[in-house]
Amino acid sequence: MSNEGILSFPINRLTLLRLTAQTYCRLQNILGPLIISIKALSSRACELASPEELELPVRERDPTFVGLVQKFIMNLRHFDKILPFQRKWVKDGQCLVGFVVSCDGSKLVLSPLQKKEISTEI
């Protein structure tokens, strides 16, 4: 599709949801950046249009968002240049020592239901 075709195509909630479904494939590369981007765009489209307004062009509600979506769709032509996320965070020859957790020093509180389910035995 040409740039003119993309710019004239009505962007609606249904279009973004269909694009989101097409990014999922269990047999190919895990393209986290692409999947996260399209899910964020779909989420915004869902905020702009209710389920009853699937085919309502969202340009009427947020023209800036539509411009961003059109640019995103045009950039999908460069799909082969997207780098997938790393498959592992700890590289060969390195070892994970621990995790740093932010805490303000107060005691953690568990609800009574959670206390019953948690076993202190090791």
Q: What is the distance, to the nearest Å, from the Cα of residue 120 to the centroid of all Cα atoms in its chain?
A: 37
**pLDDT greater at residue 38 or residue 101:** 38
Contact assessment for residue 30 and residue 84, using Cβ atoms and an 8 Å cutoff: yes
Q: Residue 77 corresponds to which tokens in the numbers above?
A: 């032509």
* pLDDT of 70 higher than 80: yes
**Domains contained in the chain, number:** 1
Q: Is the pLDDT reported for residue 18 higher than 70?
A: yes
Residue 55 is assigned to a structural domain of this protein: yes
Range of the domain at 43: 3-81
Give pTM, 2 decimals. 0.58
Q: Are 76 and 62 in contact (CB under 8 A)?
A: no
Residue 48 placed within a domain: yes
Residue 112 lies in a domain: no
CB 31 within 8 A of CB 63: no
The amino acid sitting at 34 is: L
Residue 30 lies in a domain: yes
Could you tell me if residue 62 is inside a domain? yes
Domain-located, residue 90: no
